[in-house]
Amino acid sequence: MAHLPLPDATRRLLLLGLLAGAWPAAHAAPLAAVEAQAWLLMRDGELLGEHDADAPRPMASLTKMMTALLVLESGRSLDEVVAVPAAAARDTGTRLRLRAGERMRLGDLLAAAVVASANDACQALALVVGGSGTAFVRRMNARAAALGLKQTRFTNPCGHDAPGHFSTARELAALALTVMRDPRYRVLAATSQTTISSRDTTPRRFTLSNRNELVGRHPGVVGVKSGTTPNAGRCLAAFAMRGEHSALLVMLDARERWWTAGALLDRALDGDAPAR
């Protein structure tokens, strides 16, 4: 396929179908064995390879892409200061250890959820923006339906293992491209490390390190989201740009997530497309 010059990130995202709404057919030439239960790799809108990309599976914190999308689409100012709900402070797994009633900017909670994958920050966003966890989950599923994600269902905003909480590699790729349309998400997804603070009289500082270990370490990687749970295994949605090419990779339950992802992205960005 011919490739046009790509002067900026917007053009590269366009080639992946983000703005045009294009999506490749559900078949591609085979790649070498990838140790993941499901995966999908694209370059410039062309599907290079996939395996079980339409099989519903747990998605871990890739869920947070939808939570971030709803927060960004809510119309709420990211400078708004809110109190951390008690239920959010009690959340489990990866977290900042926020305190009930602690005052935080919405934008800082979003940074904690996207960069550090903090479940307490993610839950706080859902409760504040949705009014309740149940109401926010309804919004998540409604937005998934609007995006045409027919095999995606949410039961919680953060990606905890739960019956009925699943998606597919193909639909998570579509979700990743949708949320990457927002430059505010792109900035967070590409952030290696940052610091946020509470807005209380005696503020607390939190250092956020990107849980996507490819960001800042593998050339060209600018996001999107990673996650791990016992049922979902190691999951990753990765977007990278290098030279005149862009690549998108989604892996669910990957055995060697970072090494495998780096090798696949290098093949997509630097190598020739596989023979058909």
Q: Which domains does the chain have, with CATH numbers?
A: 9-270 (3.40.710.10)
> pLDDT tens across 75-119, in order?
999 999 999 999 999 999 999 999 999 999 999 999 999 999 999
Q: Which of 47, 52, 16 lies closest to 34, judged by CA?
A: 52
Rounded mean pLDDT, 19-33 = 50
> pLDDT tens across 217-227, in order?
999 999 999 99
Question: What is the pTM assigned to this prediction?
Answer: 0.89
Q: Which of 207, 227, 206, 188 lies closest to 98, judged by CA?
A: 206
